Amino acid sequence: MKIWNFLKNNIFVKNIFFAILVSIVLFSGLKWWLNKYTRHGQAVVVPDVKGLSVLEAAAFFNNSNLRYEVVDSVYNKGVKPGSIIETVPTAGTKVKEQRNIYITINAYSSRTSIIPDVKDQSLRQAIAKLNAVEFKNIQIKRIPAPWKDLVIGLEHKGRKVNAGERLPLDSKLILLVSDGGSQDMEDFYENFIVPNSDVSVDESWLN
């Protein structure tokens, strides 16, 4: 009884007890707020929407209470145009509700670029120029000619391509390159050196 009266009447003990009580209340309130703010325990699974259009996938995201945003597009001939290729986070990942899901779709057509002037350039220079404008599918066809590794022309789908034409970036380009072998100069000029003509734009790839 004396101990109780001592504790009851001691202001120092009262202050310690009050401080402990306030700390417990604050800690409990903070924990409750954090659980509510982070939606503790309310995880959802990212749905598998690969191959679907964005419109078709929207229903799955809405049902899972997720947001979505198209952030990129690539071109793949083997995939249906406009369909979803990838999501971030990936399908099956557990995330919080209202999380943003970032979508990459398959473009409807390949990106294009303008063919640079590579005629009379060295093989190395020509490839560097084509790579600089993102043409990567480049093959080399050796042509009998008096000079070594000199670009004589450029072909696409069996026809000569002129500088300034616009082609898809996935086009297969064939560089006609001299092999440095001996050949009659008159035949060489007759077969490969033609007068300059107006640039024509090949749009057959659009069909």
Domain match, 91 and 58 both:
yes
In a domain, 160, yes or no: yes
Domain match, 125 and 144 both:
yes
Domain match, 89 and 130 both:
no
Domain match, 148 and 191 both:
yes
Last-in-domain residue among 75, 106, 137: 106
The whole-model pTM stands at: 0.50
Helix residue ranges per DSSP H, the chain: 2-9, 11-37, 54-63, 123-132, 185-192
Enter the DSSP assignment of 109.
S
Yes or no: say if 148 and 178 are a contact pair by the CB < 8 Å rule. Answer: yes
In a domain, 200, yes or no: no
* 34's tokens: 């954090």
Q: Which domain holds residue 27?
A: 2-37
In sequence order, the 6+-apart residues with CB closer than 8 A to the CB of 158 are none
Domain match, 49 and 85 both:
yes
- How do residues 27-49 score in pLDDT, each as one tens digit? 666 666 666 655 555 789 999 99
- How do residues 140-199 score in pLDDT, each as one tens digit? 999 888 888 899 999 999 999 999 999 998 899 999 999 887 555 555 555 554 443 333
Q: Point out which residues pair with 162 in neighbouring strands.
A: none
Q: What is the number of structural domains in the chain? A: 3
* 51's tokens: 């191959």
In a domain, 203, yes or no: no
Question: How far apart are alpha carbons 160 and 126 in whole angstroms?
Answer: 15
C-alpha separations of 155 from 59, 68, 168, 202 in Å: 47, 43, 14, 12
Domain match, 189 and 119 both:
yes
In a domain, 15, yes or no: yes
